[in-house]
Structure 1
Amino acid sequence: MKKRTIEIMDTTLRDGEQTSGVSFTASEKLTLAKLLLEELKVDRIEVASARVSKGEFQAVKSIMEWARETGRIHQVEVLTFVDNGASIAWMKKAGARVQNLLTKGSLNHLTHQLKKTPEEHFEAISRVIEIAQNEDIETNVYLEDWSNGMRNSQEYVFQFLDFLAQQPIKRILLPDTLGILTPSETFDYIKKIINRYPETHFDFHGHNDYDLSVSNVMEALKAGAHGLHLTVNGMGERAGNAPLASAIAVINDFLPGIETTAVESSLFKVSKLVSTFTGFGIPANKPIVGGNVFTQTAGIHADGDNKKNLYFSNLMPERFGRKRKYALGKTSGKANILKNLQELGLTLNDEEVQKVTERIIELGDRKEKVTTDDLPYIISDVLDSTSFKQKVFIKSYVLTHAKGLLPSSTLSIEIEGDSYEEHAQGDGQFDAFMNALKKVYETRGSKLPKLVDYAVRIPPGSSSDALCETMITWRTGKKDFMTTGLDSDQTVSAIKATEKMLNII
């Protein structure tokens, strides 16, 4: 069966920019325009509204200069208005060649906003289309509030479509402007229109106010829609537009008779760039592009993946240039840890895996986030802790730091069954702790090794704030040795490294 290819028009740079608090610079718009058309390979992009600002004019001008050089001039569209040709003049100066003319798709909007009759509106529209034709500008027509028009004033909508069917236009754009349609309504309305105007190209433009935009996209295509309007990360006014990544994945997986030119493997890259430009983070649980989408957290899922990929679906991360991850936390269990060890190329015995698991669960109970990058540090710390028989226990300590006062520390320590408590001040909290510790060892007639180097680092590449590693080099006579401590608090990790040193000596 021959597949039906549908057009994807990305409107991130126009409708997506109507997200509250979002504004793209001219250079950002040009960068995204290139990425959307050249790499993601959508069919068309809507880049601006006419007559909005000088900045918008410069953005469109730079995009059109690039589009002309690369033969993409008819893939770039601008939203225009029924303004007796003023928008057309603006477009012509900017070099744009395709207008998306905004008209009224419901009798309610026409009557109360424009206060015109249908005939008066149609006459004004035909004048704009004629001006565009004379200027060699291609016209598509938006029916604003079309979804409410179909619900409440179908006679007007069909009167309007009868008029447009006789006009020299390329496409009719059907927006669910307020995101009010149900999937069944979307199918019924578009099916009725396609049957009545089989020779006309219709795009569906969905909004997401009820979180139904992707479902509505599916039904629009099943009903015969020829194109879709989508935005990266579902950006747009109010709850946003139908999200590009989700729509493409759904089409590829659930609509076998339909195809697009969009490149799945570029979706995540474009999503991240739009997030960077706008400052709007991608929710971790957002389908396809969210941080957690391909992350298994429960240990039972990782175990199932080891046994015939029981928790895999067709939605494989590799399709989108991503990788499956196994989260480390209190619910991850042994199976998740083994998956992460496998990725790192590390092998531990059962006892060592159990100890690492216990440490990760302990961090999870403290609501610390642990990543794969943290894992080697945890392993090193846990295995290092078992390399000696512990005879020294730092039981308790208090660290204080107040403005105008020297930092101080009180500690309680057990050495080979004997308990000691001391208090001291110092240049910093750890220095105060070490001064108190020296007092304890002086009472025992012992001398501590000299601290010769102190370094703190977080795991390279780690995106968590769960752990930092403190590495302290000690000197006894002419011999140097190093101990490490691991904790979310820098001073505590240094104290843990010190406790290891006390047991080694």
Structure 2
Amino acid sequence: MARTIEIMDTTLRDGEQTSGVSFTASEKLTLAKLLLEELKVDRIEVASARVSEGEFNAVKNITEWAAEENRLTQVEVLTFVDGGASIKWMKKAGARVQNLLTKGSMNHLTHQLKKTPEEHFEGIAEVVQLGLDEGIETNVYLEDWSNGMRNSPDYVFQFLDFLATQPIKRILLPDTLGVLTPSETFEYVEKIVKRYPTIHFDFHGHNDYDLSVSNVMESLKAGAHGLHLTVNGMGERAGNAPLASTIAVINDFLPEINTKVIESSLYKVSKLVSTFTGFSIPANKPVVGENVFTQTAGIHADGDNKNNLYFSNLMPERFGRKRQYALGKTSGKANILKNLQELGLTLNDEEVKKVTERIIELGDKKEKVTKDDLPYIISDVLDSSSFKQKVFIKSYVLTHAKGLMPSTTLCIEIDGDLYEENAQGDGQFDAFMNALKKIYEKRDSSLPKLIDYAVRIPPGSSSDALCETMITWKTKKNDFVTTGLDSDQTVSAIKATEKMLNLI
């Protein structure tokens, strides 16, 4: 039978130890509600005792809400062996579960506390009893436990023998420095679980060697009863074991393990934590990164069209997401067809070929092309194919300096003849048009009048987006519109102008 393990999220405590990250009291309350009510983790660690007035207010807000919702036992606070000072702080803040930080290695005990094991155990027993007297439940952290198992296992087991006599609910086993290998994790956790079969053990992994998810898997195989995780893998140094990846791994590869976590809420919570902290999610981060469900190579999109050859159990819909097909120099026809299908657009083979060539051209320039750019690209490509090109803007120099008028030097080829001119203007494009007018005056020709100029970018885009410039021109006979497409607004206007020159 599958067994259900506890998930304790420590984003609001250990995750907040990410360099440069600090939650406000209102943000902590919002996330506490989301983690417990929507994501349905079993417990949350929300703060360290005695840190600051702001931290106290944050915990008080959370415990007041938790008391109303009958969730006080799901809210935990990190405390210290400090003669009861942390207990007083907790009681005042309304918290009812302490995670008592103790020393899990002889190295930490002798060099940081400078105490004997017996002295340390005596202080722990005092705090546990004080908590019990105040109605506070105790879990115990064995800080640096992983190094303790490596270098001083006799001390660790002496400590565990002592804790087995105390009125505590859980023992928490942190790989504080993220140094364990998966095989060590399994070996150490298995030894402890077998020796103390009636005690609940949590594993708390860090990610310094990028092994946290592997270590989490091995701890569960070895019999761990709970895990400590953070949203987006936030935490000290390289962070903690990430919540989203861990839940996906458990669900897909450990059928003997169950959790209560709602998978479809992981992405939503991840994005909110990123917004609150300014701690951006790497694009290639598993499960929650922007790229993880994006196919870039055209062969992958083609395979998806042919019996979903590049699908795995890690389907985006599980996390409230959708599969995307990137547009760039490696995308190919299949990616473009996938995006056209999603947009409800249809092109013939020749048009698809031209659009593909244009996207590859943009990709070679390192332009970022999105699905929302595609209608603009189609419009630009099909517009360009409506005339035979006889006018080529060969080169230009645009200058803009504070205190000086913008200027343009332009070289253009018309019916095989090269012309070069320089002009100033009220802006770079105005200077370009003035230089162009000089060239056409030399040819005893006139240009249409520009009567409207509009620029747009895809909704939701940023400053590096492709922009489409639409210019309306007026001649004696009629008005007409040309468009240009480029990531630079002035260049897109010049491309629209080049189309106009060919049309006239």
Structure-1 residue corresponding to 2:370: 371
Structure-2 residue corresponding to 1:473: 472
Inter-partner Cα distance in structure 2 for 1:23 and 1:207? 20
Structure-1 residue corresponding to 2:308: 309
The one-letter code of the counterpart of 1:146 is W
Structure-2 residue corresponding to 1:99: 98
Give the conservation status (yes or no) of the 8 Å contact 1:12–1:47: yes
Q: How far does residue 59 in structure 1 lie from its aligned partner after superposition?
A: 0.4
Q: How far does residue 416 in structure 1 lie from its aligned partner after superposition?
A: 3.5
Inter-partner Cα distance in structure 1 for 2:402 and 2:174? 62
TM-score for the superposition, normalised by structure 2: 0.98
The one-letter code of the counterpart of 2:423 is A
Structure-1 residue corresponding to 2:361: 362
The one-letter code of the counterpart of 2:117 is P
Structure-1 residue corresponding to 2:175: 176
Inter-partner Cα distance in structure 1 for 2:40 and 2:49? 25
Inter-partner Cα distance in structure 2 for 1:478 and 1:387? 19
The one-letter code of the counterpart of 1:143 is L
Inter-partner Cα distance in structure 1 for 2:396 and 2:149? 72
Structure-2 residue corresponding to 1:411: 410
Q: How many residues align?
A: 504
Are 2:151 and 1:163 aligned? no
Secondary structure of the 1:397 match is strand
Inter-partner Cα distance in structure 2 for 1:325 and 1:71? 42
Q: How far does residue 463 in structure 1 lie from its aligned partner after superposition?
A: 5.0
Are 2:483 and 1:484 aligned? yes
Secondary structure of the 1:380 match is helix
The one-letter code of the counterpart of 2:196 is Y
Inter-partner Cα distance in structure 2 for 1:112 and 1:422? 78
Secondary structure of the 1:253 match is helix
Inter-partner Cα distance in structure 2 for 1:48 and 1:30? 12
The one-letter code of the counterpart of 2:45 is E
Q: How far does residue 464 in structure 1 lie from its aligned partner after superposition?
A: 7.1
Q: How far does residue 466 in structure 1 lie from its aligned partner after superposition?
A: 4.3
The one-letter code of the counterpart of 2:325 is Y
Inter-partner Cα distance in structure 2 for 1:333 and 1:244? 35
Secondary structure of the 2:19 match is coil
Give the conservation status (yes or no) of the 8 Å contact 2:206–2:241: yes
Q: How far does residue 391 in structure 1 lie from its aligned partner after superposition?
A: 2.7
The one-letter code of the counterpart of 2:169 is K
Structure-2 residue corresponding to 1:50: 49
Are 2:124 and 1:125 aligned? yes
Are 2:424 and 1:421 aligned? no
Inter-partner Cα distance in structure 2 for 1:270 and 1:86? 34
The one-letter code of the counterpart of 1:5 is T
Structure 2 CA distance for partners of 1:79 and 1:200, relative to 1, 3 Å: same
In the alignment, structure 2 segments of 5+ residues that lack a partner are none
TM-score for the superposition, normalised by structure 1: 0.97
Q: How far does residue 27 in structure 1 lie from its aligned partner after superposition?
A: 0.9
Structure-1 residue corresponding to 2:247: 248
Structure-1 residue corresponding to 2:335: 336
Q: How far does residue 410 in structure 1 lie from its aligned partner after superposition?
A: 2.5
Q: How far does residue 420 in structure 1 lie from its aligned partner after superposition?
A: 2.9
Inter-partner Cα distance in structure 2 for 1:4 and 1:134? 33
Structure-2 residue corresponding to 1:500: 499
Inter-partner Cα distance in structure 1 for 2:168 and 2:435? 85
Structure-2 residue corresponding to 1:36: 35
TM-superposition CA deviations, 1:347-375 (whole Å, max 9, x none): 11111111111111111111111111111
Q: How far does residue 68 in structure 1 lie from its aligned partner after superposition?
A: 0.8
The one-letter code of the counterpart of 1:448 is L
Give the conservation status (yes or no) of the 8 Å contact 1:371–1:464: no
Q: Summarize the alignment of residues 446-461 of structure 1 with structure 2, pairs less than 5 Å apart.
A: 446-461=445-460
In the alignment, structure 1 segments of 5+ residues that lack a partner are none
TM-superposition CA deviations, 1:71-117 (whole Å, max 9, x none): 11110000000111110000000000000011111112111111111
Give the conservation status (yes or no) of the 8 Å contact 2:457–2:465: no
Are 2:2 and 1:3 aligned? yes
Give the conservation status (yes or no) of the 8 Å contact 1:43–1:75: yes
Give the conservation status (yes or no) of the 8 Å contact 1:450–1:476: yes
Structure-1 residue corresponding to 2:65: 66
Structure-1 residue corresponding to 2:269: 270
Q: Summarize the alignment of residues 315-334 of structure 1 with structure 2, pairs less than 5 Å apart.
A: 315-334=314-333
Secondary structure of the 1:387 match is coil
Q: Quick check: 54-63 or 470-479, which moved more?
A: 470-479
Inter-partner Cα distance in structure 2 for 1:466 and 1:277? 25
Inter-partner Cα distance in structure 2 for 1:463 and 1:318? 26
Inter-partner Cα distance in structure 2 for 1:192 and 1:420? 84
What fraction of aligned residue pairs are identical, expressed as a percent? 87
Inter-partner Cα distance in structure 2 for 1:241 and 1:393? 57
Q: How far does residue 478 in structure 1 lie from its aligned partner after superposition?
A: 7.0
Structure-1 residue corresponding to 2:280: 281
Inter-partner Cα distance in structure 1 for 2:431 and 2:463? 29
The one-letter code of the counterpart of 2:238 is A
Inter-partner Cα distance in structure 2 for 1:479 and 1:349? 30
Inter-partner Cα distance in structure 1 for 2:39 and 2:246? 14
Structure-1 residue corresponding to 2:227: 228
Inter-partner Cα distance in structure 1 for 2:48 and 2:117? 24
Give the conservation status (yes or no) of the 8 Å contact 2:407–2:432: yes
Secondary structure of the 2:273 match is helix
Give the conservation status (yes or no) of the 8 Å contact 2:458–2:465: no
The one-letter code of the counterpart of 1:222 is K
The one-letter code of the counterpart of 1:279 is G
Secondary structure of the 2:405 match is coil
